[in-house]
Every structure is written in C-alpha cells, then in structure tokens.
C-alpha cells in the first residue's frame, strides 16, 4: 500500500508536468520514472477522456484504478464477503436524515452476530465511501441542501422578426443527496428572474430543503465573505417565506459547489447537445424542450445504480419540508427616510408605516408586494406590516413608539369616552359632546386630555360638578372647565346660581363673561 501511495504521488507530478508542457524526457529526469512508463501512464490517462482539472477532485484510489488498474484481488473471509455485499445498501441508508454509522452498525450486528466489531465495521465503510468519493454526494443528508448556479455557456432563442440570436441564462439546481436536477432558462440573472427560478425549482421538487446553497452572485449575496456573508434582502425574504436558510459558498472555494458544477458539465453533454441545431423563438418553447430532456437526464442510471429520480423518490422526497400554501411574491424595493413621527411613507399608496423610534432620520430600504411591507436598515429587517392601501392612513405598532408617543397614539373618540365614564357618566358625556362639536373629532383630543388631567389637580368630584355646570351653559371647551374650577363656581349653592354674574364676579373690563365661551 505504501509503494502504491508513493507511485500515486509520482503519477500526479507526471500529469501536472505534462499539462504544463514538459516532455517525457524532462519528466523522467524530474521524477526518476522511466520514459516508457511515463508514456504508458499518459496514454492511459488520455483514454479516460478526463482533463487535468478533474485529477484534483479524484482520490488516490480512484486515480490509481484509472492509471494502474484495480489492485490485485485479495482473498475475502466469509464475514468480509457478507459486509461487502451490504455496503452499497448501508452507504445509501447513511444518506437518510438522522442516520449515523453507529446506528447502522447496531442494525448490522443484530442481524450478523458473528460480524465485525464497531471499529472494523466503520473502517470498511469508510474505505468503501472513499472509493466512491468522486462527487462526495454521500456526505449530503436527504432533504438537507439544494445547490444552485448558472451555467457558464448560454443557450439562445431567435427573434422571429429580425432573426437575431438572443443569449439566455441557464439556471440549475441540484439536490445534494439524490442529485435530482432542475434546469430552466431566463433572459437574465437579475433578481426578478433569479427569484422566480428558485420558486419554480422548489415547486418542481414539490418541497423545500433545509438550506439553499448559491454561489456569490449579486442576486443572492449582497456582500460575499468567508465568515459572514450578507444575504440580499429579497432573497432573505424568499428564504423566510419558504422556511429555509441561505448558505452561500465561500469565495474562491470551488469544492463547496462541486456538485452543481459537475451537473453543469453533464448537462453540456446530455442536454445542450440535443438543442444545438434547433431554433427556438421563445423562452417558453426552449424551456418546454428542456423539460422533456430533463426527464431523460434524471431517469438515467448513476454508475449502474438507481437513477436520480429513483433516489429522489426513495430517499429525498419525504425528507423535504412542505411548500407553503401560497407561492412567494417578488417584492419591490424603494429607499425612504424615517420621519420624526417614526413612520415612513409608501408613496405608491400614500400610506404610512411605523418604524422603531431609534431609526428616526435614518435612510431605510422598503420592500413591498401585494401582501406585506418589510423595512430594512443595513441589511437587518427592523419592521414588517400587512400592506394597507388606504390613503393618508397610518399603520402603527405600539412597540415602535417612544413612551410619550405611545400615550398620544392611543387617543381616539372611544378612548376619551371610556376614560371619562370611569370618573362618571357626566364627564364621559361631556367629553363626547366636546369632540362632536369639532369638525373632526381629533381636534378635541388635546382638550379632552387636559380635562381628564384636571381631575388630578381638583379631584374627581369637583370635575364632575364642573362638567355638569358647563353642560348647563351649553359650552364644551377646556377653558370653561378650567375657569369653573379656578373660581370655585362648581361649589355654588342653587340659590347662588340665580345671582347675576356681577354678583359672582366683580365688574372689570378685562374679565370675560359667559358669552365669550359661546
């Protein structure tokens, strides 16, 4: 085994040097391997049809079998034969969500008590998985991730009027466990087309994986980062609607998206080739042809095992989360400034939505569709409301307001009538009549608040009498109540009420009579 590993290092040096342009003589001098042996290695590699970039993803075992052929067969014991026959099924079971190697060993040893102990079982399983690690799809649990990307080579539709060839973008999605593939074309990679492609992909699968893994394209990732990428607000909203997560690949880490890049290479060979000499005059026509070819692609067997569709049906379909009852609606975006009343205005409807008061004066990003309005500050959502199309109205969340604003925001006709009735029926009726004398009830809110505040200064019993006296005058204002209380007119006896105003108040040219309040 050690000699074979040493040989594999030499072979990798030879292949790398060959693709860098070195001849067999120079390679022989560098590696110490005979020229005829080098020529033999290169001939066998060319017969595989692979390119050097493929070598980097091959394990030593896989590359060894390609160049040197399979290792000499070893005599297997009875229990090794039994385990070898079970390994394909065991590796398949390992892809199920929640399945572990420990649990698989327990099931194995229960059926085969004379079988291998735990450590040896895991060693054979690991060896088997490594031999099949060309794509490493066994690491992906059922229903866990879908990998998405755009193919590098565009397809084309033809303008029926001008005959112009219009390039279109090819969107691909691949489920990690089963490799079940989705493909469609759109005019652009812009956010609208990207989000709609993701929506149709999930509907094609009939469910939602727990994570979507995109490349760092702008429609998905606002700012790429190895440790803390910033997700585009619209894509983040899309993920929340479908109860999934976004896990962008790290920049310059091609192995993290190797599954979808491998799918891109395969669709070049098995789908593109059937479309090359055909003319399509619309996206719909091209996508219809792709759907037909995609059925054959997904039903094709993988390395002599089940097809992608069979693996999807057996392993992955039931592990996907259910689709929401309503599909995602793409959201429009606008920039707005939070006003001093802690609201932003959605100009399209002339309706106002509240934002936490800490963001007064800040510029925020407003996303909206037919159903809801979401407000973001520096990529973090700070408010969400149900959309209301009533003009010049306010949608307010009490938690967004400062303490003083919360008190004022609770004011209404019913609020003041209820607060007045808590003191007495007379006070409640007086406040109601005061608001009804105004062209708009809101114009009387401050007066009502002032009258209720007088109960703290003069006491509720005096306020009740003052409201009675003012109601008898037919005057409904805050100043009359304040005047009655300050001059103790609420305490007059019935006999004193009959006295003339001049008796109650000394004559003076600066003193207002009751006519003033009417």
pTM above 0.85, yes or no: no
Q: Give me the helices (H) in 268-325, please.
A: 273-275, 283-299, 308-311
Query: What pLDDT, on a 0 to 100 scale, did the predictor assign at position 76?
Result: 59
Gap between the Cα atoms of 314 and 295, Å rounded: 17
Three-state SS at 428: helix
- The residue length of the chain stands at 518
The pLDDT value recorded for residue 284 is: 93
**Residue 423 confidence (pLDDT):** 92
Detail the DSSP E strand segments found in 19-70: none
Beta bridge partners of 366: 334, 375
Rounded distance, CA 509 to CA 515, Å?
14
Instruction: Cite the beta strand spans of 321-474 per DSSP E.
Output: 332-337, 343-346, 351-354, 363-368, 372-377, 380-386, 394-395
Largest CA distance in the chain: 134
Distance CA 340, CA 363 (A): 12
Of 172, 193, 200, nearest to 327 (Cα)?
Answer: 200
pLDDT of residue 320: 92
**What distances in angstroms separate CA 71 from CA 39, 49, 87, one per listed residue?**
21, 22, 19
Q: How far from each other are the two terminal CA atoms of the chain, in whole angstroms?
A: 109
How confident is the prediction along the chain (518 residues), in pLDDT tens digits per residue? 445 555 677 787 888 888 878 888 888 887 788 888 888 888 887 877 677 666 766 766 677 777 776 655 555 577 888 888 888 778 777 766 567 888 888 888 888 888 888 888 887 887 777 665 544 444 577 888 899 889 888 899 998 888 899 999 999 999 988 889 999 999 999 888 999 999 999 999 999 999 998 887 878 787 766 666 778 778 888 888 899 988 887 665 555 566 777 788 888 888 888 888 889 999 999 999 999 999 999 988 766 567 889 888 888 888 899 999 888 888 788 899 988 778 889 988 889 898 988 888 899 989 888 788 999 988 788 999 999 888 888 888 877 766 555 545 566 788 888 989 999 999 999 999 998 887 655 667 888 988 998 988 889 999 999 999 899 888 899 989 988 898 888 776 545 555 444 444 544 555 555 555 54
Cα 344 to Cα 204, 298, 336, 372, 381, distances in angstroms: 38, 49, 7, 14, 14
> d(Cα 47, Cα 42) in Å, to the nearest integer?
9
**Residue 340 DSSP class:** T
């Amino acid at each position: 085994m050690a000699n074979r590993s040493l040989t594999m290092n030499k072979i990798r040096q030879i292949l790398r040097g060959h693709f860098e342009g070195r001849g067999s003589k120079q390679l022989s001098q560098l590696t110490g391997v005979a020229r005829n042996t080098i020529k033999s290695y290169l001939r066998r590699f060319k017969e595989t049809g692979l390119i050097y970039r493929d070598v980097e993803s091959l394990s030593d075992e896989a590359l060894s079998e390609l160049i040197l052929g399979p290792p000499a067969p070893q005599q297997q014991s009875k229990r090794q034969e039994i385990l070898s026959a079970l390994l394909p099924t065991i590796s398949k079971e390992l892809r199920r969500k929640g399945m572990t190697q420990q649990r698989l060993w327990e099931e194995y040893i229960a059926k085969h008590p004379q079988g291998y102990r735990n450590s040896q079982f895991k060693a054979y399983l690991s060896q088997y998985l490594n031999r099949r690690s060309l794509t490493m799809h066994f690491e992906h649990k059922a229903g866990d991730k879908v990998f998405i990307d755009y193919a590098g080579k565009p397809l084309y539709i033809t303008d029926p009027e001008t005959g112009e060839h219009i390039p279109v973008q090819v969107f691909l999605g691949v489920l990690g466990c089963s490799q079940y593939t989705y493909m469609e074309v759109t005019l652009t990679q812009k956010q609208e087309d990207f989000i709609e492609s993701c929506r149709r992909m999930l509907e094609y699968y009939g469910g939602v994986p727990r994570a979507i893994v995109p490349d760092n394209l702008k429609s998905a990732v606002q700012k790429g980062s190895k440790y803390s990428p910033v997700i585009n607000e619209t894509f983040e909203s899309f993920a929340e609607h479908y109860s999934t997560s976004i896990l962008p690949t790290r920049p310059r880490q091609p192995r993290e998206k190797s599954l979808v890049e491998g799918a891109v290479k395969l669709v070049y060979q098995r789908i593109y080739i059937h479309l090359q000499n055909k003319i399509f005059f619309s996206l719909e026509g091209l996508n219809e042809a792709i759907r037909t070819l995609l059925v054959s692609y997904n039903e094709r067997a993988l390395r002599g095992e089940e097809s992608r569709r069979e693996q999807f049906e057996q392993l992955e379909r039931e592990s996907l989360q259910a689709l929401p009852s309503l599909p995602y609606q793409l959201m429009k975006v606008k920039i707005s400034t939070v006003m001093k009343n802690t609201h932003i205005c959605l100009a399209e409807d002339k309706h106002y939505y509240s934002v936490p008061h800490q963001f007064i004066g800040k510029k925020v990003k407003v996303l909206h569709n037919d159903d809801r309005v979401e407000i973001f500050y520096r990529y973090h959502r700070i408010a969400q409301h149900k959309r209301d199309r009533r003009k010049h109205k306010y949608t307010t969340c009490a938690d967004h307001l400062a303490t003083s604003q919360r008190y004022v925001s609770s004011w209404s006709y019913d609020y003041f009538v209820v607060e007045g009735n808590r003191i007495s029926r007379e006070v409640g009726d007086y406040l109601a009549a005061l608001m009804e004398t105004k062209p708009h009830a809101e114009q009387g809110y401050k007066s009502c608040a002032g009258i209720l505040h007088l109960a703290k200064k003069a006491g509720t019993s005096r306020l009740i009498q003052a409201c009675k006296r003012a109601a008898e005058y037919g005057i409904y204002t805050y100043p009359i109540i304040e005047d009655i209380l300050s001059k103790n007119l609420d305490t007059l006896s019935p006999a004193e009420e009959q006295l003339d105003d001049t008796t109650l108040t000394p004559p003076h040219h600066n003193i207002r009579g009751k006519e003033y309040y009417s």
